Amino acid sequence: MTVFALVLGAALLLIAGYATYGRWLATRIFRLDAASPMPSVELCDDVDYVPTPPAIVFGHHFTSIAGTGPIVGPALAIMWGWLPALVWVLIGSIFVGAMHDMAALVVSCRNRGMTIGEVAGRLLNPRVRLLFLVLLLFALWVVLAIFGWVIASVFVQFPESVLPVFLQIPIAVWIGVRVHRAGRNLLVPSVAALAVMIATVWLGAGCPGLAWTGGWLGDAIRSINGTVAAWPVWAWVAVLLAYCYVASVLPVWVLLQPRDYINSLQLIASLGLIVVGLVAVAFVGGPDAGDGAGRQPLAMVAPAVNLHPTGAPPIVPFLFVTIACGAISGFHCLVSSGTSSKQLRCETDAHAVGYGSMLLEAFLATLVIVAVGAGIGLGWQQSYPGLTGEPLWSTIYADWTKVTGGAAIAAFVVGSGNFLEALGIEATFSRALMGVLVASFAGTTLDTATRLQRYVVQELAGTLLVNTGGPQRASPLNPLRWLTTPHGATLFAVSSAFLLALMPAPGKPWTYDTLGTGGLILWPLFGATNQILAGLSLIVICFYLHRRGLPTWMAAVPAVFMLAMPAWALLYDIQRWVNAGNWMLVAVAAVMLLLEGWMMVEAVLLWPRVKSIMEEPLPPLERTASRVTVGS
């Protein structure tokens, strides 16, 4: 009952935060206005700028920001204890992360859907814009490489998730065409899509419980699963990045929007199942292991606080770097300002889409903490037969260095699967459902990140072409001109990510089996870089408020904190990497700190000069017969 009370209390606190602090920010600080002109309408091109119903934008935004971050981060950070992890998730999401996401969305909408890097150039200066774009390019490069590896790892560990994940694509296209072209109501296709997707999970799990076929269909699917599980990681990464290329260049309503939307239905339904399973376990116990011991009681088997777990760095500052997406993440400002702001059709929807999505992600992180802190204690018979409770948890979490991203994900899949099994759901189907949840979250983040990287490459190439008269006057042989096109920028994004991923992980030889794990080379830098991005995004938000004479403390205090913690973490890591002779990580980390310091100096020097002074107005829109363009 204590575990159930924790989850219920967390849910009530998040709802209260949405209704109080979130509403105050929306109405008193940012003053959201339903009549405000929106970029999705003013610049509608039916490709990137598409006015979209709020339910679909919410689905896109939530699934894009909630990748594997709110799963891997809390599942790893619980080694310092479930209490500090849960406190940071709740306080961080309400007062820092949700404010950051909604503010980035609103500021972008009021700047014609510009990305946070472009907005930084308008509110601060062009140098900051260029520095921001370089930082975004690096962060998204690592995201594409590592998320390709994460999804490939999920496919290898839980091959029953492969078929459902790929069958989502035709379902999404059907939804996109039906809603966008025919203007149909969402209710019927949503229910139908959810039912079909659940059926695909059952199909991918080998049709458990199906007797009338004699078992041949299940055997055939399990054989296929065994085959695809044997694929090398690099092959899966190539397939996934090829899909991302297509998703990035297609109109947003064809695949990206509807896939994210139907994923959100499936993922929210899965979270609901976890909650129902949690309630069942809390009141009647866990699944019966069949050994005569009956149902096990639900209890937290992870320690409440453990300041010195084996092999782990210090809790401060690393708790605030390890748990990112569940509390605050710099990647979220890219989604808010990169894709969601181009789809929002009414400014007041930003409260639900920006602030609400972050709180739902925080609730997911809460469920992850409970799944790996209590659910895993109900047993993991496939890997740890006979072990349950605290001895099982201590075996899995014996050493920080052994709980990699893949191990943390597996712990969540099994722990949450135990909740579902308590409802009488077959074990293979339970794991398949949770595996699909993880792979779908990662997949939606991967294709959104590809589109975001496309925008960043186009902006950066266009910026570098300014001195030659702009993209239109550049020589056709100039590669930068090619990079300003959607196809050129996307091809650069996926090919560079694949080249990074193709290399073996640190310390691994160049073999057929180790190819595809190269994202792990720079992965140690990503957590701190991602959080530095959040801090810099908060600085941009501060300047937006400061120029309008509005209070800035709600953004300024988190900005200082989110710049200090990752910088501290990088300095700590640099010392370790110097001792280990890992000079590449040392060099890249030094560059990241230099970029952060440079932008902070620019901000401090500019701050006293722009109080209550509005930035230059945007150029007027020029309307032609075919589209809307920005005048010079």
CATH number of the domain enclosing 542: 1.20.1740.10
- Residue 625: predicted pLDDT: 45
User: Do residues 376 and 411 touch, judged by C-beta distance below 8 A?
Assistant: yes
pLDDT number for residue 17:
98
**61 contacts 340 by C-beta, under 8 angstroms:** yes
Q: pLDDT value at position 538?
A: 97
- How large is the average pLDDT for residues 427-446? 79
550 and 617 in contact (C-beta within 8 Å)?
A: no
Asked if pLDDT for residue 210 goes beyond 70, the answer is no
Does residue 467 surpass a pLDDT of 60?
Answer: no
Q: Per residue in 139-198, pLDDT tens? A: 888 888 888 887 887 787 778 888 888 888 888 888 888 777 666 666 777 888 888 888
CA 507 to CA 502: how far, in whole Å?
14
Average pLDDT, the chain: 87
CA 59 distance to own-chain centroid: 13
Is pLDDT above 60 for 624? no
234 contacts 484 by C-beta, under 8 angstroms: no
Does residue 305 have a pLDDT over 50? yes
Whose CA is closest to 208, among 379, 423, 431, 439? Answer: 431
As a whole number of angstroms, the distance between CA 363 and CA 10 comes to: 7
Please, where are the H alpha helices in 374-485?
389-396, 405-421, 427-464, 479-483
Q: Which residue has the higher pLDDT, 439 or 7?
A: 7
291 band by pLDDT with thresholds 50, 70 and 90: low
Q: Is 38 left (phi over 0), alpha (psi -120 to 50) or beta?
A: beta
Q: Please report the beta strands in 512-609, taking only residues with DSSP state E, as ranges in sequence order.
A: none
What is residue 478's predicted lDDT score, i.e. its pLDDT? 67
State residue 150's pLDDT score.
78
**Running DSSP on this structure, what letter comes out for residue 344?**
B
Burial class (CB in 10 A: 0-12, 13-18, 19+), 154: buried
Helix extents (H) in 250-293: 256-284
| Residue 235 token pair | 């092959």
Range of the domain at 101: 2-630
Using DSSP, state whether 183 is helix, strand or coil: coil
pLDDT band at 23 (very low <50, low <70, confident <90, very high): very high
Look at the chain and count its residues.
Answer: 632
Q: Are 282 and 1 in contact (CB under 8 A)?
A: yes
d(CA 612, CA 615): 10
Highest mean pLDDT among 69-73, 160-164, 209-213: 69-73
Q: Dihedral of CA 506/334/135/99: which sign?
A: negative
| pLDDT at position 632 | 35
Q: What mean pLDDT comes out for the span 507-526? A: 79
User: What is the average per-residue pLDDT within 47-53?
Assistant: 91
Highest mean pLDDT among 287-291, 429-433, 549-553: 549-553
Q: Is the pLDDT of residue 103 over 90?
A: yes
In percent, the amount of the chain with pLDDT more than 90 equals 45
CA–CA separation, 243 and 147 (whole Å):
13
Distances from the Cα of 66 to the Cαs of 45, 108, 257, 464, 559, in angstroms?
A: 27, 20, 15, 33, 22
Question: Which tokens belong to 182?
Answer: 């025919």
Beta strands in 412-539 (DSSP E): none
Model pLDDT, residue 152: 82
Hey, what amino acid is at 461? A
CB atoms closer than 10 angstroms to residue 513: 12
CA-CA distances (angstroms) from residue 205 to 383, 429, 618?
19, 6, 54
**Which pLDDT value is given to residue 556?**
97
For 215-225, the pLDDT digits (tens) are 677 778 878 77
Share of the chain above pLDDT 70, in %: 92
User: Residue 424 corresponds to which tokens in the numbers above?
Assistant: 């009488």
pLDDT band at 66 (very low <50, low <70, confident <90, very high): confident
Is the pLDDT at 450 greater than 80, yes or no?
A: yes
pLDDT mean over 392-404? 89
Mean pLDDT of 374-380: 89
Task: Give the separation between CA 72 and CA 532, rounded to whole angstroms.
Answer: 19
The tally of CA atoms less than 13 A away on the side-chain side of residue 574 is: 15
Sequence letter at residue 518? G
Average pLDDT over residues 507-515: 76
Please, which residues bridge with residue 628 across strands?
623
Mean pLDDT of 328-347: 94
- Helices then strands, counting H and E runs in the chain, come out as 26, 2
Tokens read off for 466 = 């300014």
Q: Is 531 within 8 Å of 322 (Cβ atoms)?
A: no
Quote the crossing angle between the two packed helices 519-547 and 126-157, to the nearest 10°.
140
Distance CA 442, CA 267 (A): 12
Domain count of the fold of the chain: 1
Q: Of 249-253, 297-301, 443-447, where does mean pLDDT reach its minimum?
A: 443-447
How confident is the model over 563-578, as a mean pLDDT?
95
